[in-house]
Structure 1
């Protein structure tokens, strides 16, 4: 019954996330996101200070390819060698490994240029959807889900959710603060990874329940 409940929730959020992503795409392609994006960017960048910039650069670093790769490798070793959870290892690899590939595909389709209001740091490549946001949501989302399966304490589960959501949110905000992404890029990144993670968990739960 627990697995079936997980599957239903995953299936639901996958569909909702995909639908919302399509909605964001329509708004962006119709040039109706500009005013909201610019307003939020100006508001977030109005907080600028040397100390906050250092904090935001740290959060951006936590969503970088290097850090995500290191955390992923550590998780793979723990799942495969020490815990022996082969099925969960496959889920982890599919979610974390598939997110950057999906991001590259989507960026090549939309080819949205990065914002030019105020760049605190420089970054190359297209903007939509945010790769950092996708990677963070995929990594910390699947880690939260896998740990949830093995932690029965209510406070432990709440702590995992708060940490996972907090890190993912701060990484997304840091991309807007540093001037390398529009808010709609970040939101789209969350939604794509949400759909990807939900679909992967649905398949995982179905397969596990059948076996």
Structure 2
């Protein structure tokens, strides 16, 4: 039942990604209009406010996929030392390899960055690598952490994860380095990729079920 729900939600997310992709390629007026209606006010507000721009740039860097991948790499090394191989494989496939998914998708679509970008950014625009990478990283970490924390904390952790995902995605639009459709596509593809990884390398601990002991992670190998 849970697997069926995951597959259905991933399929819906993939559909959203394809919709954003086709909309860009076909030049759909309504989608281009939404992108412009969001980017232009953000650019006007940021123009002449360097501190505002710098604050968002720093925030997106500190909470960006690069920071997550570096932190998770440490966790992976610790997991390998402690012989928690399944945990290490899961985090490697999801968090670390999401960079390959991002660059592959960007290469295929090859959408230019908005002309109004207020900071420099590498690579192309579609999908947002920050949106995709942070979506995968947060989802993967919640999958690992939720079963071993007190039930009272789980809702707060999920809310914090959602907030991080939203703030980083919004920040990329505020900085005008991504169109809103890029960010939506990044979220969608990131979620679909996470679910695919979860189904292929399912952690030994259920995603939401209560775990009586933190030691259950020892069963990950």
Q: Which category describes the TM-score, using the shorter chain as reference length?
A: 0.7 to 0.9
Q: TM-score, normalised by structure 1?
A: 0.85
Q: What is the aligned partner in structure 1 of residue 142 from structure 2? A: 144
Matches within 5 A, 1:88-107: 88-107=87-106
Q: Aligned-pair distance for 1:27?
A: 1.2
Contact 1:68 1:139 in 2 (8 A): yes
Long gaps (5+) in structure 1 = none
Contact 1:44 1:176 in 2 (8 A): yes
| Rounded Cα–Cα distance in structure 1 between residues aligned with 2:52 and 2:88 | 36
| Rounded Cα–Cα distance in structure 1 between residues aligned with 2:62 and 2:111 | 24
Cα shift readout 1:96-127 (whole Å, capped 9, x = no counterpart)? 122111111111111111101x2221223211
Q: What is the aligned partner in structure 2 of residue 162 from structure 1? A: 159
Query: 1:24 aligned to 20, 25, 41, which one?
Result: 20
Query: 1:205 aligned to 188, 202, 205, which one?
Result: 202
Query: 2:34 aligned to 33, 36, 44, which one?
Result: 36
Runs (4 or more) in structure 1 with deviation over 6 Å come to 206-209
| Rounded Cα–Cα distance in structure 1 between residues aligned with 2:204 and 2:146 | 18
Further displaced range: 29-38 or 53-62: 53-62
| Corresponding residue SS for 1:123 | coil
| Rounded Cα–Cα distance in structure 1 between residues aligned with 2:64 and 2:205 | 32
Query: 1:126 aligned to 100, 119, 124, which one?
Result: 124
Contact 1:134 1:192 in 2 (8 A): yes
Contact 1:63 1:133 in 2 (8 A): no
Q: Aligned-pair distance for 1:68?
A: 2.6
Alignment of 1:173 with 2:177, yes or no, is no
Alignment of 1:115 with 2:109, yes or no, is no
Q: Aligned-pair distance for 1:55?
A: 2.8
Cα shift readout 1:152-205 (whole Å, capped 9, x = no counterpart)? 41x311111111111111111111111111111111111111000011112233
Label 1:127 to 1:75 Cα distance change in 2 as closer, same or farther (>3 A). same
Contact 1:112 1:127 in 2 (8 A): yes
Cα shift readout 1:131-161 (whole Å, capped 9, x = no counterpart)? 11111111111101111122241x3111111
Aligned length: 203
Label 1:182 to 1:140 Cα distance change in 2 as closer, same or farther (>3 A). same
Q: Aligned-pair distance for 1:208?
A: 7.8
| Rounded Cα–Cα distance in structure 2 between residues aligned with 1:146 and 1:56 | 29
